[in-house]
């Protein structure tokens, strides 16, 4: 695993599930960062500790979102496959809203990324409102 691999976790609240996901990520050598609602206005790249990206002033105080979301930084294709295989092996339900950090989305805040992922998931699954 790349030493710079990071996983941002959002709304993984069930303790057993969270523990299994963290175990998988640590076993693969990834750093885990749990993102909380007050951090939702920060650029996702800053949350993932990309060098040169700084957090902005202010905290989020709105309702946020309740769906699980996962953002992956620094993973190769093979490492992504290993992560997904580990989810299947552990019989973990998939996280529907997931993204790889890119030059484009690293500038977005968590709410913007959430809206984009939710829209993409609805288009792919054909189930409006089911994220």
Q: Give domain status of residue 74, yes or no.
A: yes
The tally of domains found in the chain comes to 1
Q: Give domain status of residue 59, yes or no.
A: yes
Q: 93 exposed, middle or buried (CB, 10 Å; 0-12, 13-18, 19+)?
A: exposed
pLDDT > 90 in the chain, percent = 79
- pLDDT band of 101, cuts 50, 70, 90: very high
Q: Give domain status of residue 130, yes or no.
A: no
72 compared with 3, residue with greater pLDDT: 72
Per-residue pLDDT tens digits for 16-66: 999 999 999 999 899 999 999 999 999 999 999 999 999 988 899 999 999
Q: Give domain status of residue 66, yes or no.
A: yes
> Average pLDDT for residues 85-102, to the nearest whole number?
94
Q: Which domain holds residue 28?
A: 6-125
In 5-130 the beta strands, taken as DSSP E runs, fall at 6-10, 31-35, 69-73, 97-100
Q: Give domain status of residue 131, yes or no.
A: no
Q: Give domain status of residue 26, yes or no.
A: yes
Q: Taking the model in full, what pTM does it have?
A: 0.90
The mean of the pLDDT values for the chain is 91
């Amino acid at each position: 695993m790349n030493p710079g691999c990071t996983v941002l976790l959002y709304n993984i609240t069930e303790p057993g599930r969270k523990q299994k996901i963290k175990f998988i990520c640590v076993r693969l050598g990834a750093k885990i960062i749990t993102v909380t609602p007050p951090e939702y206005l920060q650029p996702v790249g800053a949350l993932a500790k990309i060098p040169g990206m700084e957090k902005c002033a202010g905290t989020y105080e709105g309702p946020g979102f309740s769906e699980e979301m996962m953002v992956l930084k620094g993973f190769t294709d093979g490492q992504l496959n290993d992560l997904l295989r580990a989810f299947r092996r552990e019989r973990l339900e998939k996280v529907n809203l997931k993204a790889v950090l890119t030059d484009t989305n690293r500038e977005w805040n968590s709410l913007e990324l959430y809206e984009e992922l939710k829209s993409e998931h609805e288009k792919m699954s054909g189930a409006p409102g089911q994220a």
